[in-house]
Structure 1
Amino acid sequence: MFDSQKNYVIADLHSHSTASDGMLSPKAMYERAQEKGIEIYALTDHDTVDGYLSIKELANKEGVPKLISGIEWSTLYKGMNIHIVGLNFDANHPAVTSAINELQNTRDQRSFIIVERLQKAGLNITYEDVKALSGDNHPARPHFARYLVDSGQVKNSQAAFNKYLGAGKPGDVKTNFPSIEEVIKITQAAGGIAVFAHPHKYKMTQTKLISCIEYFKSAGGNAVELGVAQMNPQLRKRLTLVCKELELKGSSGSDFHQPDLSWCELGKFEHVPKEIEPIWIDFK
């Protein structure tokens, strides 16, 4: 079992399975975390805890890695989609269940709008095409990208986002997601921790990003993902100072979705800076 007093723990607290937009099953994800030497693991599928619940008993039996409940909440902040990771909460809490049901309905409505927009952009696609890829789950943009690649309408997933699904493109549909403050309250009502996800991935100036993190803190947020891959060293340094000033803890995670992307493999990310208290010391 992990030692919370160690200087560094391999804690991958951000990853995705087929319960949302990942390519591996929840069980395969847990087994991969074992293979990669992860000590603490969280499956944080988008707006659902189904994947976590499906492997909870397996993880209790196996023991290592220690499994933490997780979810990646979709929120809106000044018209932008900001993701907040919830960790170590009661996945069956009524507030969590209610919020997930609302979000899944919202995601389904958005999928129909995305299909209409992509059709108007000249693509050959239907809701049924994408639903066939998402299975029992609500379609997400990676499912759309996968279909466009599989049907030969774009070269690869990156091209799908660059031309059709990324920010400002036809498939970039803003929806009525809850506020950052709302999902923080829901997560904490269920006994959990709220984490500002992948701060380096938002298309905003550094000043606006810091302002957003300050709002996150004022709303009761607990930590920021600083232990990630591909973050500019200067941004990491600046955000480390911001977290120290705001007394925010640090989290780590790969944001793993699929096996063929080596730069976001499970466990492959920078350490949480040593001057920042890691969130896993609070995990029981």
Structure 2
Amino acid sequence: MQIDLHTHSTASDGTQPPADVIRCAAEAGLDVVALTDHDTTVGWPEAAEAAERHGIALVRGTEVSCQTETGISVHLLSYLQDPDHEGLNEVMERARTSRLTRARRMTELIGQDHPITWEMVQEHVADGATVGRPHLADTLVTAGVVADRTEAFDTILHPRSGYYVRHYAPDPVTAVRLVRAAGGVPVMAHPMAAVRGRVVGTEVLKAMIDAGLAGLEIAHRDNSEAGRAQLSELAAQHDLIVTGSSDYHGAGKPNQLGENLTSIHSLRRIESEAGGATPVLR
């Protein structure tokens, strides 16, 4: 079984509509794929219809944006949660609203030095999508300021640049509890991705585990080899689910569908821990 449990569409910061992500997953030989857009479930219906059409199983999910008190970004994958859960939806809606405000302010700051406007940014955002830094990156590419998203994130959009603005995101421990309350299965995305910036220490990871964290995304291109070894040891100690994923964004990142995979055993564990409101679509 070829299982990839982390992909993004134009519902957040991917470059392909949900249906195209599913089509590409089927063409890549995947048997199971998860759609996990940032802080939204808006892409689920389109993905579900495409999954049935292309004969591929779909795990419906979300990547919940979190942040520690010290400002370290944490991404929490939520699988098979109830899309109508009030508590989780309120937090994600607040995060989306904050992202919009942040994007506007960053555009204003960048626009003082580079030829971009809010109208230009909006051209890169699909209807109903969560606005984020990737859309600013695409605008900078279109304006000829940078060559690609990677350069944009390494320079102008970097947290240590003078243009960066923080946005609201729930504490990761709170987010874990909310995902569990919604019947979902919380798995921490790329926990040791130091190439993205600071990562949380063991103390935060253990607090998330105590709150109900179900698993760790270990096989991910941004986790270092040393980090993977540390995470594997932690997963064994606490009997956590181990996953592997591509974190596919279409043309937005070099990540390719199926470049890292999840075992059928881990998928079965995710299914068994889910609350039942949102089953895997086969």
Gaps of 5+ in 1: 1-8
Secondary structure of 2:186's counterpart equals: strand
Is contact 1:259-1:265 (8 Å) kept? no
Q: Deviations over 1:39-63 (max 9, x none)?
A: 221111111111123222443x348
Provide, for residues 98-143 of structure 1, a one-character-per-residue CA deviation record: whole Å limited to 9, x for no partner: 33322221111111121122134x1122222111111322421111
3-state DSSP of counterpart to 2:64: strand
Equivalent residue number for residue 124 of structure 2: 133
Deviation at 1:146, TM superposition (A): 0.8
How many Å apart are 1:10 and its aligned residue? 2.1
Give the aligned residue type for 2:25: A
Q: Which residue does the alignment assign to 1:176? A: 168
Amino acid at match of 2:169: F
CA gap 1:218/1:268 in 2 versus in 1, 3 angstroms: same
Name the structure 2 match of 1:197. Answer: 189
Query: Which of the numbers 243, 246, 254 marks the counterpart of 1:251?
Result: 243
C-alpha distance after superposition, 1:239-263 (max 9, x if no partner): 100111122211221111124755x
1:241 match: 233
1:186 aligns with 2:174: no
Identity of aligned residues (%): 27
Contact preservation (8 Å) 1:114, 1:170: no
CA 1:127/1:280 → structure 2, altered by over 3 Å: closer, same or farther?
farther
SS in 2 for 1:169: coil
**Residue 109 of structure 2, aligned match among 93, 117, 135:** 117
**More off after superposition, 39-48 vs 96-105:** 96-105
Could you tell me how far apart the structure 1 residues matched to 2:252 and 2:98 are? Answer: 30
In structure 1, how many angstroms separate the alpha carbons of the residues matched to 2:190 and 2:162? 24
Comparing 150-159 with 90-99, which one deviates more in the overlay? 90-99
Question: Could you tell which deviates more after superposition, 215-224 or 49-58?
Answer: 49-58
CA distance in 2, matches of 1:231, 1:81: 15
- Cα 1:35–1:145 shift into 2, 3 Å: same
Q: For residue 166 of structure 1, what is the aligned residue in structure 2?
A: 158
Partner of 1:282: 270
Kindly report the root-mean-square deviation, in angstroms, between the aligned alpha carbons of the 2 structures. Answer: 2.2
Amino acid corresponding to residue 127 of structure 1 in structure 2? W
Contact 1:252–1:271 (CA<8 Å) still a contact in 2?
yes
Give aligned pairs, total.
268
User: Larger RCO: Structure 1 or Structure 2 (Cα < 8 Å, ≥ 6 residues apart)?
Assistant: 2
Long gaps (5+) in structure 2: 272-278
Q: 1:5-52: per-residue Cα shift (whole Å, max 9, x none)?
A: xxxx42211110011110111000011111112222111111111112
3-state secondary structure, aligned to 1:50: coil
Query: What SS does the aligned partner of 2:123 have?
Result: helix
Instruction: Kindly report which structure 2 residues correspond to 1:18-29, keeping only aligned pairs within 5 A, or say none.
Output: 18-29=10-21
Structure 1 residues 225 and 279: alpha-carbon distance in aligned structure 2, compared to 1, 3 A threshold:
same
Q: Distance in 2 between matches of 1:164 and 1:28?
A: 30
TM-score by length of 2: 0.86
Worse-matched range after superposition: 19-28 or 87-96: 87-96
* Partner in structure 2 of residue 3 of structure 1: none
| CA deviation string 1:164-209 (max 9, x = no partner) | 112312343212211112222221122110011112324336xx43
Greater displacement, 154-163 / 80-89? 154-163
In structure 2, C-alpha distance between the alignment counterparts of 1:197 and 1:153, rounded to whole Å: 30
Retained in 1: the 8 A contact 2:2–2:258?
yes
Which of 137-146 and 41-50 deviates more?
137-146
Cα pair 2:79 2:270 within 8 Å, conserved:
no
The code of the aligned residue for 2:175 comes to V
